[in-house]
Amino acid sequence: MSRIVVTGATGLIGRAVVSALQARGDQVVALSRDEQKARRQLGTDVEAIAWADPLTSRPPETALANSDGVIHLLGEAISQRWSNEVKRRIRDSRVLGTRNLVAGLLDVAEAQRPRVLVSQSAVGYYGPRGDEALTESASPGNDFLAEIVEAWEAEAQAAEDLGMRVVLTRTGVVLDAHGGALAKMLPPFKLGIGGPVGSGRQFISWIQMADVVGGLLYVLDHDTASGPVNLTAPNPVTNRDFSTALGRALHRPAVMPVPAVAIKLLYGEMAEIVLEGQRAIPRRLTELGYPFQFTDAEAALKDALAG
């Protein structure tokens, strides 16, 4: 049995990760701004410890000491209209939160320090690149999200100076009907008025929630995993093909195109994520031998909708 610390444990991915860790017999420590909320959501078997303000303080040493690993999932939601204040929160929650986490790890005596940090990242690192196949060796983009992700990853990589193995999981569009991008897509598609967005040619680097969790635990456990790892399915699809697959999964038509101008009016600057996208390829996960549960988008969507 391992003792694993999880930040962002009450989020969509965090709850699934905690459940999977418990299912295999690990002891889970949830670092949370609100430890009582964490206990209510995650159950009394989880050791919930308060990290009152990740932007200004280090996590308690007692939470990190004598733990085997840390899965760091903390971050402000990207999928909202970006004002200057929202952009600041998106950046600070990732960059400052990770900086303070690593500072907290420095406080832990070397003999008691976790051996591995799995730090959430995003395929936004690459910026909009059309249909270019993007493996982990691709260069970063230069838009708002790419600059944030690059700074975010640099803060996490600082833990290597502490002798820790660091994995940066660049996560794509997570398919889960209970939250995230898919939950936002469902209402119009269920009404039969969904369809491709903009040109429909932009790629979606999707991944089913089961493989998000499976991939995170896989790189946590495998000592040969380090550095950036694209946490995406092997077969990214265009927005048009994804819309068709979602329509089939729901047994609804998916032919109503959504004009780019409508998305820009709704989301402002954040619309570029939807209208551009990335074609990320999980080369490292494949090399490591991770057994993907879902490689076909339609099958992944059907499973997500059945859950």
DSSP-assigned beta bridge partners for residue 69: 4, 116
Is residue 167 over pLDDT 90? yes
Burial class (CB in 10 A: 0-12, 13-18, 19+), 85: exposed
- CA dihedral (12, 292, 90, 53) in degrees, to 10, reads 60
CA gap 239, 52 in Å, rounded? 40
Query: What mean pLDDT is predicted for residues 46-75?
Result: 96
The pLDDT assigned to 259 comes to: 81
Query: What mean pLDDT is predicted for residues 135-160?
Result: 97
Classify residue 127 as left (phi > 0), alpha (psi -120 to 50) or beta.
left
Query: What mean pLDDT is predicted for residues 98-102?
Result: 98
Both tokens of 107, joined, read: 């406080």
Which of 63-77, 131-145, 170-184, 268-282 comes out lowest in average pLDDT? 268-282
CA gap 156, 144 in Å, rounded? 19
Give Rg (Cα) of the chain. 19
The pLDDT assigned to 274 comes to: 81
Which of 8-22, 149-163, 257-271 comes out lowest in average pLDDT? 257-271
Is residue 226 over pLDDT 80? yes
Query: What mean pLDDT is predicted for residues 173-197?
Result: 90
163 falls in which pLDDT band (50, 70, 90)? very high
Burial code (b: 16+ CB inside 10 Å, e: under 16) for 201-238 equals: ebbbbbbbbbbbbbbbbbbbeeeebbebbbbbbbbbbb
DSSP-assigned beta bridge partners for residue 134: 280
Is residue 62 over pLDDT 90? yes
Alpha carbon 252 to its chain's center: 29
The pLDDT assigned to 159 comes to: 98
Q: pLDDT per residue over 66-85, tens digit each? A: 999 999 999 998 888 889 99
Backbone angles phi, psi at 222, to 5 degrees: -95, 115
Q: What is the DSSP string of 158-213?
A: GGGGGT-EEEEEEE-EEE-TTSHHHHHHHHHHHTT----BTTS-SEE-EEEHHHHH
Is residue 260 over pLDDT 90? no
Could you tell me the CA-to-CA distances from 199 to 60, 130, 267, 277 in Å, in that order?
48, 12, 17, 12
Is-contact 178 11, C-beta < 8 A? no
Could you tell me the CA-to-CA distances from 273 to 80, 106, 198, 202, 234 in Å, in that order?
11, 35, 12, 10, 20
Q: Kindly report the length of the chain.
A: 307
307 falls in which pLDDT band (50, 70, 90)? confident
Which has more pLDDT, 262 or 102?
102
- The three-class DSSP label of residue 119 is strand
Angle, helices 12-23 vs 209-221, to 10°: value is 60
Both tokens of 277, joined, read: 């996208």
Domains of the chain are: 3-172+207-232 (3.40.50.720)
